[in-house]
Chain A
Amino acid sequence: MAQLQVSNLSLRFGGVAALRDISFTAEKGTVAAIIGPNGAGKTSLLNCISGVYHPQAGAVLLDGRDVTALAPHVRTRMGVARTFQNIALFKGMTVLDNLLIGRHCHQRAGLLQGGLYWGPGAREEIAHREVVEDIIDFLEIEKIRKHVVGTLAYGLQKRVELARALALSPRLLLLDEPMAGMNAEEKEDMARFILDINEERDTTIVMIEHDMGVVMDLSARICVLNFGQKIADGTPEEVQRNPEVQAAYLGQSTPSTRASA
């Protein structure tokens, strides 16, 4: 069954149609990519999936359940986590604290129990710390466990943000340009982490990415957007062969652009 199904989604901001009739699915346990030129509507689509935007038409289905009307925090509890294009971490806090905040949606202890760090509150925190330590080990950030996030290099912050998303124990992970601004070595590490997350943690991944090498290597399925419309959808080979995709990326004239001109 599809982990994520987006059907006939349309999103308008006033007179601007950000997304027009988009349909797109991500199968369970796969890596899917959304690509397209700047302003194509990629992040808007991701925001509709995570619940930040509510589309005027169409539906978002998680595990076959319609979540179009649900708030972001409800979807988080259902197993959706994301990272942001521009890092959105708590810069003044340590890596460990940032990750523990990621566990917040799974914490049951109240202010009193947690604050006193006693009985069930203490046990719960220890259990969450174990989950977090497992992620720290997984993403190889032991060295910076107690560093303040704001002092870290950009590439590392990206990794910490991924770690925080993983701390939510997601079934569907949305990554908004995980490789942006990274050097070759960091990209290679990140690509390996994404594959490992997908394989070892059974997580479905939907990512927006501009690095075509990465997209073609990692994804099973690619959805291409241009000016809010889906222009292609399929395996990397199919998408690469698609003339409209070539036009959108290389600026060649094709039958459809000539027709609209």
Chain B
Amino acid sequence: MTGLPAAAAESASGAAATAIAASAVDAAETFPRLLARNAARHPARPALREKDLGIWREVSWARYLEGVRELCLGLLSLGLARGDKVAILGDNRPQWVIAELAAQAAGAASVGLYQDAGLSEVAHIIRDSGATFVVAEDQEQVDKILEIIDQMPRVRHLVYWDPRGLRRYAHPALLSFEAVQERGRALHAAQPGRFDEELGRGGPDDVAIICYTSGTTGSPKGAMLSFRNLLTMALSLHAVDPKRETDEFVSFLPLAWIGEQMMSLSSALAVGFAINFPESPETVMGDIREIGPHVMFAPPRIWENLTTSVQVRIMDTTPFKRLLYRLWTPVGHRVAALRFAGKPVPLFLRLLWHLADLALFRALKDRLGLSRLRTCSTGGAALGPDVFRFFHAMGVPLKQIYGQTEVSGISCIHRDGDIRFHTVGVPIPGTSVRISESGEILTKSPSVFLGYHQNEAATGEALRDGWLHSGDAGYLEGDHLVVIDRVKDVMRLADGTQFSPQFIENRLKFSAYVKEAVVVGKDRPFLTAMLCIDLSVVGKWAEKNRLSYTTYTDLSARPQVYDLLEREVDEVNKTLPGAARLHKFVLLYKELDADDDELTRTRKVRRSFVEERYRDVIAALYGGAREVPIDTTVKFQDGKSARIRTTLQLRPLKLEA
């Protein structure tokens, strides 16, 4: 192999290379070159695995490289030039990462799109990035692109990898993944040195990906990240949270999201662990169990779902198993509590925990697919202390992380043995975090992005003197960072203290019955909340309490459910300072949905949209009425709409002095 730096030379040392070998990589590399290095070092070891037709099928590092080479040369033969952009749209599959690396090997940047993105979002991102090639998964995604291709004159080719249903499509821009790879093979035969030449031309400061941020306000902005940005981040994280070459990772979160890029590309290529792709989005949990990953990174909702599913199933299981659960979990919780407090665990308790492990935790972890989990983290939003306790009690070392797209992933993480529920941990090596005078979190590190694509104004606003202005308000507690809320959402209460709606919302969401919460109160005399119930949990509760219901709307309007939620909100109110207590709440008739613009694709509440949409409900919350009539239409994914007519109750809360 030509054009490869020293890293390839050390492949002779072979299998002994683990964490140490990975740390020998420096950030002055590119993804495709790291792929070539890994393929030279362990050609036969699995790099990717995909469950297809019921069987996990492996792609070795050598075959991975070959696939990237073929596609890269194919794209070049179709006219892809250095500096171009390639948009990728589809579920997590080997073809997704192969397409990204192929684009990067040709000197182009990859632009990930969320697979459930709507037409206007897709059109905006493709136009804004100036992508000339679009790689899409299947008929569904191809249909989206073809519908708007006339508005995107720069798009020259549309490549799909799943041909099903596309046989009769005859658009001139359309061609299959295999056809492009076939062209690549032909070019490789004619110019065998071309691919390595292309790799040699790439540099660490090239734009690797343009990652469109979820955007809780306005349309998404494209953050440009270089290989150096991405790799520095991965290596700094690796230094404090080591992974091994032999580790397994399951890729099931959108690859358009920086968190998944950080794991499935930056970290996997730098460290050399294997990525597994689930059979379908519905089978993820079963597939995780089959793989038994060593490394896992997921937003709070995944961890919450795991916890809830255990709690719901324990209610349904045999009395004997329930007894075991009730008997042994307190042991786990005692040990976890001591560890959280930084106190030593007495020998007797340690022995008892091992018994609990044998009798309960092992089986439980096996059920959830967490048996081999060595390092796992949660990020994107706050996770309830109860969920933390639940996993630590079982011996699953869950950590909180903090980051954003603009720092290539994350900047802070909990360290082993230093977990504090309310913090997001300590900055990773090479990262400085400080708080501005206005209370905003500022970050400086080699991972801070190059800027927003064609948006000087936004770049200037985010990057000042090399410090990334996150827009998040927070404070430092020793070396731990605590995040409060978005700066613009932090509000001043009547008595002048600053307060954050997100802080209260998170407390509310820690209740298993609450799926989403929106706290309103800016420029208002008092605070109120709009809540969405969690259908599975409240549904289970209703079943147990012999409360019959038909739909989500029906269940959330039941007075008994209001009583249940009132108790939950009262609990939260007790922990809040007087002025920040909630005066009223309402249960919404539908769940907040990204398709209605109420949530971002990463499930963050888009406050301004929600406040606009539920204007009438909010007005009623601050009026004298006890209920508000609703007559609205909801749009389903397939474009159909339905009318909802109901009456929402407004429940005032008893406030103790």
Contacts and interface: CB of A to CB of B under 8 A. Distances in A.
A and B bind? yes
A185 B283 CA distance: 20
Interface in B618-648: 636, 638, 640
Contacts of A137: 52-53
B54 interface: yes
A200 B282 contact: no
17 contacts: A129-B54, A133-B53, A133-B54, A137-B52, A137-B53, A140-B280, A142-B279, A142-B282, A143-B282, A143-B286, A184-B638, A185-B636, A185-B638, A196-B165, A199-B167, A200-B164, A200-B167
Given A184-B640, A196-B164, A199-B167, A143 B283 contact: yes
A142 B281 CA distance: 10
B638 A188 contact: yes
Given A130-B53, A199-B168, A200-B164, 8 more contacts: A133-B53, A142-B54, A143-B283, A143-B286, A184-B638, A184-B640, A192-B165, A196-B164
A147 to B, nearest CB: 11
Interface of B: 52-55, 164-165, 167-168, 279-280, 282-283, 286, 636, 638, 640
Interface string A209-244: 000000000000000000000000000000000000
Contacts of B168: 199
Contacts of A133: 53-55
Interface residue SS majority, chain A: helix
Interface string A131-149: 0011011101011010000
Contacts of B167: 199-200
A134 B640 contact: no
Nearest to A195: B165
Contacts of B638: 184-185, 188
Contacts of A192: 165
Contact of A199 (B55, B165, B640): B165
Contacts of A129: 54
Interface string A65-101: 0000000000000000000000000000000000000
B49 to A, nearest CB: 16
A199 B165 CA distance: 8
Interface in A159-213: 184-185, 188, 192, 195-196, 199-200
A133 to B, nearest CB: 4
A142 B165 contact: no
A208 B636 CA distance: 29
Contact of B165 (A134, A140, A185, A200): A200
A136 B640 contact: no
A136 B54 contact: yes
Nearest to B53: A133
A123 B279 CA distance: 24
Q: Which 10 A-B pairs have the closest CB atoms?
A: A133-B53, A143-B282, A133-B54, A142-B279, A143-B283, A142-B280, A142-B283, A137-B53, A196-B165, A134-B53
Best-surrounded residue of A140, A142, A145 (most CB of chain B within 10 A): A142
A128 to B, nearest CB: 13
A158 to B, nearest CB: 18
A211 B165 CA distance: 23
A130 B52 CA distance: 11
Contacts of B53: 130, 133-134, 136-137
A145 B54 CA distance: 9
A134 B279 CA distance: 13
Nearest to B637: A185
B164 A143 contact: no
A200 B165 CA distance: 7
Nearest to B281: A143
A100 to B, nearest CB: 12
Nearest to A130: B53
Best-surrounded residue of B53, B279, B282, B286 (most CB of chain A within 10 A): B53
Nearest to B168: A199
Interface in A111-134: 129-130, 133-134
Contacts of A188: 638
A231 to B, nearest CB: 33
A195 to B, nearest CB: 8
A188 B636 CA distance: 13
A195 B168 CA distance: 12
B280 A143 contact: yes
A192 B638 CA distance: 13
A140 B282 CA distance: 10
A130 B283 CA distance: 19
Best-surrounded residue of A130, A137, A140 (most CB of chain B within 10 A): A137
Nearest to A144: B282
Contacts of B286: 143
A196 B164 CA distance: 8
A30 to B, nearest CB: 15
Contacts of A134: 53
A132 B553 CA distance: 40
B643 to A, nearest CB: 15
Nearest to B163: A200
Contacts of B280: 140, 142-143
A216 B55 CA distance: 39
B164 to A, nearest CB: 6
Contacts of B54: 129, 133, 136, 142, 145
A184 B637 CA distance: 12
Contacts of B279: 142
Nearest to B278: A142
Nearest to A96: B54
Nearest to A145: B54
Nearest to A135: B53
A199 B167 CA distance: 8
Contacts of B283: 142-143
Nearest to B280: A142
A136 B279 CA distance: 11
Nearest to A140: B280
Nearest to B284: A143
Nearest to A143: B282
A137 B286 CA distance: 16
A149 B167 CA distance: 33
B91 to A, nearest CB: 12
A235 B371 CA distance: 60
A222 to B, nearest CB: 22
Contacts of A140: 280
A193 B147 CA distance: 22
Interface in A25-50: none
A188 B167 CA distance: 20
A195 B164 CA distance: 11
Contacts of A136: 53-54
B656 to A, nearest CB: 47
Contacts of B640: 184
Nearest to A185: B638
Contacts of B282: 142-143
A192 B165 CA distance: 9
A145 B51 CA distance: 13
A159 to B, nearest CB: 13
A195 B286 CA distance: 30
B269 to A, nearest CB: 29
Contacts of B636: 185
Contacts of A195: 165
A163 to B, nearest CB: 14
A160 B52 CA distance: 19
A35 to B, nearest CB: 25
A140 B279 CA distance: 10
Contacts of A145: 54
Contacts of A130: 53
B276 to A, nearest CB: 15
